[in-house]
Amino acid sequence: DGCIKAVGQADVIRNQFSEATFERIIDCSGKCVLPGLVDAHTHPVWAGDRVHEFAMKLAGASYMEIHQAGGGIHFTVAHTREAPEQELLASFQRRLERMLRAGSTLVECKSGYGLDLETELKMLRVIECAKKSMGIGISSTYCGAHAVPKGKTATEATDDIVNNHIPKLKELKLCGEIHVDNIDVFCEKGVFDLESTRRILQAGKDIGLQINFHGDELHPMKSAELGAELGARAISHLEEVTDEGIVAMARAKCAAVLLPTTAYMLRLKQPQARKMLDEGVIVALGSDFNPNAYCFSMPMVMHLACVNMKMSMNEALAAATINAAYALGKSDTHGSLEVGKQGDLLIINSSRWEHLIYQFGGHEALINYVIVKGKVIYENERCETMSSY
C-alpha cells in the first residue's frame, strides 16, 4: 500500500521480516535514509521567464518598481494567458522532475498567473493532470488573488473572486473535476488590503479550502494576526511580521512558511526565524520557485535558512519535512519516517545526513535514491561511481 511497515534497528528488522520476500533490497551501508523533502510554497505553472528582470534587480530596481512598470507578475500573466494548456503542462512536468531529483517528494503548487477565471482554471487543470501522471505528491492551491488584474481595482477583483471564481471552484470540486486543497491571497500594500484578503480567505474557507496565504512580505500588514484569527493553516513570507503577529501565530498553531530564496534574491530583510522558533511558532520552509526566484532545490533552501536565518541544521531539516507537511495539512501521512506513514524517502550517498545542507548545491552527487510510496522513482547512477565529498 506504499506505507512504512517498520522502522528500527537493522537486526530487529531482519528478524521481523526473515520470512518475507521483497521486490528489491537496497544496501544502505555507509548511507543515510531521510524523509522525502516537502516544499511548502511554489509557483511552478507559468510561461515566459523573467531573466531580463534579474538584471534590473541587480541594477537596483525594487520588486514593486518592476511590478508597477508592467513587469513582474503582470509579465508572466500575459505569457501564461496565451500559452496552450499542453505547453504549460509539459514545462510544469519538467520542473517537477527537477524538484524530485533535488529530493522533494511533496510540493505545494499554486495557480495565480491567470488573474481571470479562464486562465486560473487552466492552471488548476494542469496541476490536476500532473497529480495523476507524476510520481511526486502535489498539494494544489488556488491563488487567483496573486495581483490585481489590469483595468480593475482591488475591490472589483475581490468581488469577481468571491462571486465568480470561488463558486466555480466549488462546482468543479463537487463534480470531481478539480481538487483544490488551499486558498491563497497576496496580502500587500498596493495589492490586496487586509479587508479584501479577509473576504477572499473566508469565502475559500467556506467551501472547505485550507487558508495558506502570502503575508507581511514587503510591509507590515497585520497578516499574521488576520491568519491566526481566521484559523489559517499557514502564512508565507513574513519578512515584516510584527511581534504581536508572531505570538498570535504560535497560539493559533499557524505555520510560518519562510522563503529564504526570496529574501536573498530581492535583498529583503530576512524573516525572523529565530524569534519565531523561540516563541513556539511551527516554522516550515519553501523554495518559492517562480520566475522571480528560480530555485528547485530544497537542500539549497535549507542551507540559506541556516546561514541567513540562523537556523540549526536540525531545525532546517524539520522545517523542510514534518513542519512543511504540517503547513499543507499532511503531517499525519508525510514528513517523517514512522510506521503507517507514506513511504516517501531519500537515500543519501554519505554517512552523515548534514552533507545535504553543508554542501551548497551538492545534492546532485548526494541524493542516491528518491522513493515515493515505496517505489524508487529516481535513481542516481553517478552515486555508485563517485564519492560525494
Q: At a CB cut-off of 8 Å and minimum separation 6, what does 377 contact? A: 100, 135, 136, 370, 371
Model confidence at 178: pLDDT above 90: yes
HSE-up of 329 (CA within 13 Å, CB side)? 16
Share of the chain above pLDDT 70, in %: 99
pLDDT of the residue at 70: 78
Burial of 283 (0-12, 13-18, 19+ CB in 10 A): buried
Q: Note the Cα 385 to chain centre separation in Å.
A: 32
What pLDDT band is residue 386 in, cutting at 50, 70 and 90?
Answer: low
Kind plus residue range of the DSSP H or E element containing 277: helix 273-279
What pLDDT band is residue 383 in, cutting at 50, 70 and 90?
Answer: confident
How far is Cα 224 from Cα 253, in angstroms, rounded to an integer? Answer: 12
Q: Under a CB-based contact definition with an 8 Å cutoff, are residues 245 and 222 in contact? A: yes
What pLDDT band is residue 388 in, cutting at 50, 70 and 90?
Answer: low
CA dihedral 88, 94, 98, 99 (to 10 degrees): 40
Average pLDDT of the chain? 96
Model confidence over 180-227: pLDDT tens digits? 999 999 999 999 999 999 999 999 999 999 999 999 999 999 999 999
In terms of phi and psi (left: phi > 0; alpha: psi -120 to 50; beta: otherwise), the region of 297 is beta
What pLDDT band is residue 71 in, cutting at 50, 70 and 90?
Answer: confident
Residue 294: how many other CB atoms lie within 10 Å: 16
Spatial CA neighbour of 262 closest among 254, 272, 273, 271:
271
Q: Which residue has the higher pLDDT, 107 or 10?
A: 107
Beta strands in 41-163 (DSSP E): 104-110, 137-145
pLDDT of the residue at 389: 65
Kind plus residue range of the DSSP H or E element containing 27: none
Span 308-329, average pLDDT: 98
Domain boundaries, the chain: 3-33+342-379
How far is Cα 140 from Cα 129, in angstroms, rounded to an integer? Answer: 11
> Alpha-carbon torsion 346, 349, 352, 357, what sign?
negative
Model confidence at 385: pLDDT above 90: no
Q: Which residue has the higher pLDDT, 280 or 66?
A: 280
Spatial CA neighbour of 324 closest among 3, 4, 33, 37:
37
277: cell is: 522558533
Model confidence over 8-33: pLDDT tens digits? 999 999 999 999 999 999 999 999 99
Model confidence at 384: pLDDT above 80: no
CA dihedral 131, 137, 143, 146 (to 10 degrees): -120
